[in-house]
Chains A and B, each alone.
Chain A
Amino acid sequence: MAERTLTPLAGWRIVAEPGAIDVAPWPDGAEVVRISADDAFVIGGAQPDLADPHAIVTPEHGFAGVVLDADALSRLAECHVEWQLPEGRPALAQGQIAGVPGKLVLREDGSALLLVACAAAHELAERVGLT
């Protein structure tokens, strides 16, 4: 995986009623990472507009990410993940990766977006062999 680099991502962080996130019209080209029922990270696109009047929608610059192909994902899971990845796709898997809190956005094509907090990106890159 030496050719891959964790790159800071720009997006929107949303905390809102779960029902409002469920039915939100996401901007074209955005990728939605549902961190929990009431929390989502929307990568790219314009500012989302939610039906919940109390929703918190704020710019998020705290994550770095890298796209892994199926082989790289398989190697990462085998060597650095102590828990079982979900079988279904698409899916979000969250937990420690090489001892660093991270997220894997598992896509239908077999690839995955590895997300990590920018503050821990250097540590994760060093541990798993990213540049």
Chain B
Amino acid sequence: MLRVTCPTCGTRPYEEFRYGSLFPVTPDSITDPDARQVDHAWMQDNVAGPITERWFHEAGCRRWFTAVRDTRTDAWSQPD
């Protein structure tokens, strides 16, 4: 079972949460504003490794938070 660590409530089963999205990071190399918006909205990296995500603890504190999850192991860590 995937378990998610909420910074307010602690570790809980995945079912208590709502997945928000990948935390969008647009590369600095893209400078055109329209191109940045396209990248922000549509370009997903599909990384095998640590990714930054937004989660909502729906059954607990009802707060959004940002967390880092390793997609290979589902190990969680706090963002920098």
Contact = CB atoms under 8 A, between A and B. Distances in A.
B10 A84 contact: yes
Nearest to A85: B10
A39 B9 CA distance: 13
Contact of A83 (B8, B13, B58): B13
Contacts of B63: 36, 39
Interface residues of B, number: 15
B55 to A, nearest CB: 14
Nearest to B59: A101
B37 to A, nearest CB: 31
A5 interface: no
A84 B11 contact: yes
A83 B10 contact: yes
Interface of A: 35-37, 39, 82-84, 86, 93-96, 101
